[in-house]
Amino acid sequence: MIRRRRAARAAPLAQGSDRAHYRVFEPIGVWTKTTGDPIDLRDTIFLNTDVFENKHHFVVGSHLNRERIPERIVHAKGFGAYGYFEVTHDVSQYTTADIFNGIGKKTPVVGRFSIAIQNLGGNDVVRETKGLAMKFYTKQGNLDLIGLHLPIFLYKEPFDFAQFVHAFKRNPKTGTFDNNMRWDFLTLRPEHFHTIMWLMSDISLPDGYRKIHYFPIHTYEIYNKKGERYYVKFNFRTELGVHNLTNAQGAAIALEDPDYFNTDLYNAIVKKNYPAWRLEMDILTRKDLTKVDYDPFDVTRLWKRGTYRTVPIGRLVFNRVVENNFKDVEQSGFCPDNLVPGIVGPLDAVFKSRRIFYQDAQNYRLGSNFANIRVNSPIYDKTYVRDGMPPLLDNMKDAPNYYPNSFNGPMPYVDESRPTDRMVILHRNAIDLQPMAEFYNEIVESDAHRQRIADNLAASLVEVIPDIEKKALRLMTLIDVDLGRRVRATLTALRAVDPQERQREIAQCIANANEIRKHY
**Least distance from ligand HEM to the Cβ atom of residue 63, Å:** 23
Among 2, 87, 143, 146, binds ligand HEM (CB under 6 A): 146
Can you tell me the distance from the alpha carbon of 119 to that of 50, in angstroms, rounded to the nearest whole number?
A: 40
Q: 74 vs 197, which CB is nearer to ligand HEM?
A: 74
> Residues forming the annotated binding site for heme?
358
- Beta-bridged to residue 142, according to DSSP, are 137
151: contact with ligand HEM by CB under 6 A: no
Q: Residues annotated in the binding site, as ranges?
A: 358
φ and ψ at 133, to 5 degrees?
-100, 130
Q: Which of 109, 88, 111 is nearest to 314 (CA)?
A: 88
Radius of gyration of the chain (CA): 26
Q: How far apart are CA 148 and CA 128, in angstroms?
A: 10
Distance in angstroms (rounded) separating the CA atoms of residues 313 and 136: 14
Is residue 371 a contact residue for ligand HEM (CB under 6 A)?
Answer: no
Shortest Å distance, C-beta 459 to ligand HEM: 26
133 makes contact with ligand HEM (CB under 6 A) = yes
Nearer to ligand HEM, 249 or 300 (CB): 300
Q: For residue 90, what are the contacts with CB-CB under 8 A and spacing of at least 6?
A: 100, 101, 102, 103
**CA neighbor of 154 nearest in space, from 349, 300, 257:** 300
Among 20, 60, 73, 254, binds ligand HEM (CB under 6 A): 73
Contact flag: residue 114 with ligand HEM (CB under 6 A): yes
Between 218 and 450, name the residue whose CB sits nearer to ligand HEM: 218
# of chain residues touching ligand HEM (CB under 6 A): 28
Q: Shortest approach of ligand HEM to residue 345 CB, angstroms?
A: 13
Amino acid at 402: Y
Beta pairing, strands 106-115 & 130-138: antiparallel
The distance of closest approach from Cβ of residue 234 to ligand HEM in the complex, given in angstroms and rounded to an integer, is 10
Chain positions 305 to 334 lying near ligand HEM, rule: CB under 6 A, are 332-334
What lies within 8 Å, CB to CB, of 383 at 6+ separation is 396, 410
CA-based end-to-end distance of the chain: 8
Contact 198, 150 (CB under 8 A): yes
Within 156-175, which residues bind ligand HEM (CB under 6 A)? 158, 161
Q: Closest-CB residue for ligand HEM?
A: 131
**Hey, which residues between 333 and 362 contact ligand HEM (CB under 6 A)?**
333-334, 350, 353-354, 357-358, 361-362
Q: What is the DSSP string of 293-348?
A: SS-TT-TTSPPPTTS-EEEEEEEEEEEEE-S-HIIIIIT----TT---TTEEEE-S
- Min. distance of Cβ 114 from ligand HEM in angstroms? 5
The stretch near ligand HEM (CB under 6 A) out of 27-35, 39-47, 143-151, 498-506 is: 143-151
Q: Please give the residue ranges that form the binding site for ligand HEM (CB under 6 A).
A: 72-75, 78, 112, 114, 131, 133, 146-148, 153, 158, 161, 216-217, 332-334, 350, 353-354, 357-358, 361-362, 365
